[in-house]
Amino acid sequence: MNFDLTEEQKMLLKMIKEFADEVVAPEAIERDRNKTFPIKVFKQLADMGIMGLPFPEKFGGAGADTISFAIVTEELSRACASTGITYSAHISLGGAPIHLFGTNDQKEKYLVPICTGESFGAFGLTESNAGSDAGGTQTKAALKDGEFLINGSKVFITNASYAKHIAITAITAQNADKKEISAIIVPTDSKGFTINEITDKMGLNASNTTELIFEDVSVSEKNLLGKRGNGFKQFLITLDGGRIGIAAMAVGIAQAAFDKALQYSKQRKQFGKTLAEFQVTQFKLADMAVKIELARNMVYKAAWLKDQGRAFGKEAAIAKYYASEIAMEITDEAIQIHGGYGYMREYEVERYLRDAKLLEIGEGTSEIQKMVIARHILNNQ
């Protein structure tokens, strides 16, 4: 097995690491406090050709692989998790379903603006009563005279305020308890479509989280994404890729917390020694480093399998489950190493913990990931 990055991946890592350190990180604390969306950062990423990184060049992308996407997501998240989740959702949830299931005309119309950064990518699945249970969707789209009339709502949707169109799931037919769920691309300037921003959050304060409300929103039948009735299946496939992004985010946050804890332990003195000289601190740092390395390797494995066109759902779920768990553990430990200063916003580690918590929830809780992993195991035996 070859664990070396390709020359292209090494160049990308160097470039995005420098960008994250020099451009993204310096204002991360201020963005978190003021809940300021990093629009300037993403304009620069668009100029760098990063906004369409894994999508084909013919649609404005860079034709890169999933490992490259994971590298960028990790580095952005290391500097600012709000920036990381914005990018991850833009690619893996916003652009991916259009790339995977869209017609050529739909890709020209909707994927190109995502790749160029003209529009952010967003994904409308979650509802107040339908999160991990995507089959509980209640939003309806009635087809009449070549138009879908959409009514319902979505919640906890990332990037919608900055998106020009959103792929959503809706019930297009129902027979008793059996729902036909389809995916539909909805322009955000459609009449009757309202986007409300949610700002009162625990963490990821500089990211855009919204509620979508559809009141007799009329959309052409041509905006059907993929085959009618395949929306549920399509979005499950999309979520497999999304888990790689969430896992890469978790690794980035954990790495940031570890870096801060390591730096602090070398500087802070107690009883005439630096914290790093105490064996108990060394054990903590070793445990943190091991967990980060294992999580990153799992992210890369899932990404590599995806790039090879092989089944990767189990590995993506494992990566998401493990990386999000260790991100919480490591951010908590980083606060402990900082002592009282860890509780202060100035030292940043408390922000890492607040940001990491969502990763145990987004794309399904740890319990949901265990169910996904178990299903793969049982189905393969």
The residues assigned a catalytic role are 363
Query: Pick from 198, 190, 94: which is nearest to 141 by CA?
Result: 190
Query: Pick from 114, 74, 79: which is nearest to 98 by CA?
Result: 114
Burial class (CB within 10 angstroms; exposed 0-12, middle 13-18, buried 19+) of 277: middle
Which three-class secondary structure state does DSSP give residue 215? strand
Query: Pick from 233, 153, 241, 222: which is nearest to 184 by CA?
Result: 222
Neighbour tally for 103: CB within 10 Å = 13
**What distances in angstroms separate CA 294 from CA 100, 328, 379, one per listed residue?**
30, 15, 25
CA distance 252 to 320: 13
CA distance 326 to 116: 34
Chain-centroid distance of CA 116 in Å reads 19
* Cβ–Cβ under 8 Å, residues 336 and 280: no
* Cβ–Cβ under 8 Å, residues 244 and 65: no
CA distance 133 to 96: 21
Which three-class secondary structure state does DSSP give residue 51? coil
Residue 222 tokens, joined? 């041509």
